[in-house]
Amino acid sequence: MRFYDDISVGDVRHSEEYTVSKSEITTFGEKYDPQPFHIDEDAAEDSVFGGLVASGWQTAAICMRLHVQSSEDTAAQVGVGVDNLRWHQPLRPGETLRLRNEVIDKRPSESDPGRGFVTTRHEGRNQDDELVISYEATAMVRRAPAE
């Protein structure tokens, strides 16, 4: 098990890939982001996107899945916050996302000696290596148990 103490600034991980389907985009959109360009193919064609696109929150959720998969060896990560979340371009039906994570900061908790904060820069790119989403996420991670 990888704890706070085992994580170093500069650590980089690459995720698996995730391909999003049209029905997954419209299902998420109908539930959480019912704007025409996420749920209605005809209306989406007349929109600024020229076709159906995934909700930006769905793109972020897919990144979370890829991150969880690529850090299964790490102690539970409790999300504290996210900064500089940017959607650079949309994710369309049939497109594939993969994630690159890099640890950019870590610091012990001042109030809880058993935990520390780790900040990771996430970049999600599509099948053409174009940047789709980026953000910096801070999570609380357990410190290694005392010997």
Residue ranges that bind a second copy, judged by CB under 8 A = 28, 31-37, 47-48, 55-58, 60-62, 64-65, 68, 76-87, 135
Closest distance of CB 106 from a second copy, Å:
18
| Residue 136 tokens, joined | 């910096």
Closest distance of CB 55 from a second copy, Å:
7
Task: Pick between residue 10 and residue 125 the one whose CB is nearest to a second copy.
Answer: 125
Strand partners, 99: 124
d(CA 62, CA 67): 9
d(CA 120, CA 101): 6
d(CA 93, CA 119): 31
Closest distance of CB 20 from a second copy, Å:
11
Task: Pick between residue 10 and residue 65 the one whose CB is nearest to a second copy.
Answer: 65
Closest distance of CB 15 from a second copy, Å:
13
Task: Pick between residue 52 and residue 60 the one whose CB is nearest to a second copy.
Answer: 60
Q: Classify 102 as helix, strand or coil.
A: strand
Task: Pick between residue 82 and residue 103 the one whose CB is nearest to a second copy.
Answer: 82
d(CA 52, CA 93): 7
**AA identity, residue 120:** T
